Structure 1
Amino acid sequence: MKIRKLDHRAQPELYHLLTQQTTVNLFLLERLFLKGIKSWGYEHWFGAYDKNKLVAVSLVMGKMSSKEPARLITVYGSLDGCRLLGEHAARQGGTLIIVGPRKESDALWAGLGEPPLRINKDQQLYSCTSVIKGPMLDIRTAQDDDFEQLVVFSAEMMSEDLDENPLQTNPEHHRNIVKDKIKNQRTWVGELKHNGTKEIAFILDIGFPIPLGVQVGGTFVPKHFRGQGLSKAGMRSACSKLLQSSREVTLHVHEQNIPALRCYEGIGFTRQHPYRIAAVKQP
């Protein structure tokens, strides 16, 4: 088995591999539709080939230099191929975060040399193809005026999910990510009145919708708005809009987060596939 860096010539075979499990691979398919396969920049695709057949793939994201770890790697395909992709990534500096289908992610981690993890959470991938009727929250795309609030709220969300506050570890990078999401209309918000003024009460990050589907994440409700069913109402509204142009909406959620699981199942999400998110402990 050999590892190759992929370019535009591999797009048909990559599409064929990923569409073997479309729901599982929506994130990768979104990136493929959006940018194609590029051999430069901060994102790189690598493939594991067995007798000239593509059997596994990795997307390496946020790779700033050859000496630094990638920000994130996600993989899919044969477990042997994923392990070899991990070995290749280890020689290139490794990664900070692993996310993706559970068995493939665990094989990648093994190939990386089983580095110590500060976070290792079992997740489930959920999919929604129709929405169960119920209360809905008016939502809109985030605007420039929302920027400072979203910088704080998205940092709080990451602190809760990854035990890491990006405003402490890399504030400039975090602010740039939030700004980019607003610019590209990838953050949606819902508002409610609080102390006489409208405030952001629900936040959701949207992937890049394609006809096959769209993955969402980064769901957050500020603490003083929790317990009012806003996650359910906001997600119901978002899915209703997204399903007008995409076949399904997916998200992954921690298995131990029972309130979130009940929330999503009450909207119409169904469990599809075991997932993993892991963060590598840094020296």
Structure 2
Amino acid sequence: MPRSTVDVSHALATVLNGTRVVSTAINLPGPVTAHRLAALGAEVIKVEPPTGDPLASMAPIWYDELRQGQQVVRLDLKSDEGRASLHEFLADARVLITSIRPSALDRVGLGDLDERHPHLLHVEIVGDTTEPDDAGHDLTYEALAGLVEPPQLPQVPLADLLGAEQAITATLGGLLGGLTGPLRVGLGDAVRGVNASVRSGLTGPGSLLGGATWRYDLYATADGWVALAALEPHFIPRTLTMLGLDVEPADRSPVEDAFAARTTQEWMRAAKELDVPLAPVQQPSSR
């Protein structure tokens, strides 16, 4: 009897039903975290400053995606009225997400949140847990982790996104364990945890996954680019057959010449037929 495929998003959509989450976190890691928790069924109240979340002007499409299904309110947390409104929201909440330096939280008069709301699980997203008051952003944390190749800037904000994943895990783990109080997550910690591929020599210029073998690389076609990832031994003969080569090449030249002779779609049809791990290189959306 064939097994049915489970739609994970649908299956988990009610996991956090009845759980109220208040997030004062703006920019990227906090909104990504809140978005995922809302997708799991949580009731999310997104608190923004009077001027709104900066992400709305930097990436309006992504901002709109991340706030779907949430109640968005604007409060001036530097004012007595704004703080009073926040405390009202927190009275019935189970989770609070913040992404502000501890010293800044103190300066706006919210340094006593954990004492005032002992029922809350407070997920604090900071730059780095070792020095949470130091200034920084995704680029600085990626640079410190050795994930930046100058002069190119990162194409994906890994520290922000991995930090969000850790915040999601901390939230779910904290709720599962019945925890209250602060749980601190650091963006710098998150990328230090994934730079093992660079430290171990698996990735990076000249490494196995960084250009050392013709079997794992990018190639220009007649009308674009393709990504070849034929690492395992059983893919080698199939790839050589697809390329029209009798033996493994001593350098890239025969492979480059072969790919350049046909269009991307022609190569994709051939790869599908021979079961070769090949993909077209898509251009980032210009929307």
Higher RCO (Cα < 8 Å, 6 or more apart): 1
The TM-score with structure 1 as length reference comes to 0.26
Q: TM-score, normalised by structure 2?
A: 0.26
Which protein is richer in strand relative to its size? 1
Larger Rg: 2
